[in-house]
Chain A
Amino acid sequence: MTMNATVFRAILAMDSYNRGYAPSINGVTGTSIGLANVVSNQALNISDAQYQIWQSAGFYASAYVWNGQNVISYRGTNPDFSGSVTQFYNSPGFADVFHGWSLGAGFAGADQGQLALAFYQAVAGVSSPYYLIDNSAASTMLLGHSLGGGLAGFVGALSGEVAYGYDHMPFGMAAYAQAISDSAIAATAVITSGFATALVTVKNVLKEACKPALQIQSTC
């Protein structure tokens, strides 16, 4: 039986809530969901120590191969608004707000944004999230719900990959800021590694990243 692709994308977007640490549903140990085969995060060169950093930052993502295409599902948020402030600071949800929601406000340096980019690079097997710098990536579909949708959009805006968000967090400003930041870093290379090469890098990063970011923001 063939499942409607739109419905299945939504299912995969929610599946990341149920895998890895602190799953919403315990005991989801299957090796596939529908026709999508689950990729082991352990096989993606993410060290055990890095995985602990994921947990400290409240970040989680799962990867799949669906019809031969890589798929990433970024887990969303689980904040708590009802507790006292002191308890809230200790809550798992605070990690999402501090490390993830700040990206929605335009802070590209938010831990979850950087972890999302790194995870994309690990799944796609590229040295840079920018297509014009490393175009060797196999096509990777990006999915996410809520905060996870924002992370998918953030990565999609920078990489040019197809991204689907469900009730997602804003991401355009952060993507723009990330592009500017990376361009500045590339510009620094002008001094150290030769003017011509670095100039091309700066041009490419800005050309690729700023355009989609602005395009996205213009729809708000």
Chain B
Amino acid sequence: VFVHIRRNQFIKGELGMTSRRAMLGVALVGAAFTAAGCGVVVKDGSKHYPDYRYRLSVEVDTPEGVKRGSSVIEVSTYVSGKYTIPDPGKLFTKVRGDAVTVDLGTRGVMFALLRSEYSVDWAAGVLSSVTPDPVLDPGPDQDKTGNVQLAPDKDDRYSGLDMHMKNILKSKGVYDVPRYYNTILSRPKPGDAHPPSYYPIMVTFKDMSDPKSVTKVDPDALSATFGKGVSLKRITVERTQDPVTTGIQRRLGWLEQVGRSRSTLIPNPPRLLKDAKDPIIQYLSPSNFSTELYK
């Protein structure tokens, strides 16, 4: 059997890679034994911030009054070090928790998921995004227009993130989640009137016992799904010490079983992303409802 290995592209560099990886591996093992065996504290170039929890709440105006649902979500944050390959200083986050369930009585049940259309890691960043940074004391760094110029700290590349994480960890009060992204990196796509939505994906089920009946809910037109007089009042986040919310399977008993047998609520999604007519719904996974399904 002839093996189609392109030597020029593939084999080239094997020696260099081998030796580099080997050296790194030896260094790693050496460091592990040094620290574990002798109690040596290795200087910390990487950062693990304290976990924090927040309550994600969704309020819906209905003719029967305001309906609320909330979920407590835990976020772990880690920043890779200066010498990480290939992502120095990369921010890693991990979340635990369930989607928000809003019971609208006979009108149905709405779920605000752990992700947005724009970001799979939405639930990990929402409290961070709405937490304001402190007003700095104007000093010699203030420019002529009154704006404070923050000079980067040459000794600690993460000082800005440190400050922001401190703010998150001492965050108090309720913050509204903005309707749209408002950053220079998430401007409207050509032809779009708005930047990407900052709201979580919202869905409901025509039949709660049938995962295939999932349908998308338009946050700007809840009445189209739940009837006249129903509208989204607001979505908020608030830091909390309450335990992480779990148990969404009590409502969606099939969630884990579906997730173990296939990847999406609706079976057989299109192979190519471009062929999906409604990718948000067609590629929706059980883990968008809970991080705790397979533990």
Contacts and interface: CB of A to CB of B under 8 A. Distances in A.
Interface stretch (A109-117, A190-198, A205-213): A205-213
Contact of A93 (B21, B80, B82, B270): B80
Tier of interface size on chain A = 35 or more
Interface of B: 1-7, 9-11, 13-15, 17-18, 21, 24-25, 27-28, 31-32, 35-36, 41-46, 48, 78, 80-87, 90, 92, 117-121, 185-186, 196, 256, 258-264, 268-274, 276, 279, 283, 285-287, 293-294
Given A48-B260, A80-B80, A169-B21, A163 B13 contact: no
12 contacts: A37-B273, A40-B270, A40-B273, A42-B269, A49-B294, A78-B85, A78-B86, A82-B84, A83-B42, A85-B42, A104-B21, A167-B17
Interface of A: 6, 17, 20-24, 26-27, 29, 31-32, 37-52, 65, 76-88, 90-93, 97, 101, 104-105, 131-132, 145-146, 153, 156-157, 160-165, 167-170, 207-208, 211-212, 215-216, 219-220
Given A163-B5, A169-B17, A51 B90 contact: no
Given A26-B119, A82-B44, A83-B46, 12 more contacts: A23-B120, A29-B117, A77-B86, A80-B84, A82-B46, A82-B82, A82-B83, A88-B46, A91-B80, A93-B80, A156-B5, A207-B1
Contacts, number: 219
A160 B191 CA distance: 45
Given A21-B120, A49-B260, A43 B268 contact: yes
Given A40-B283, A80-B46, A47 B261 contact: yes
Given A52-B287, A220-B15, A81 B28 contact: yes
A91 to B, nearest CB: 6
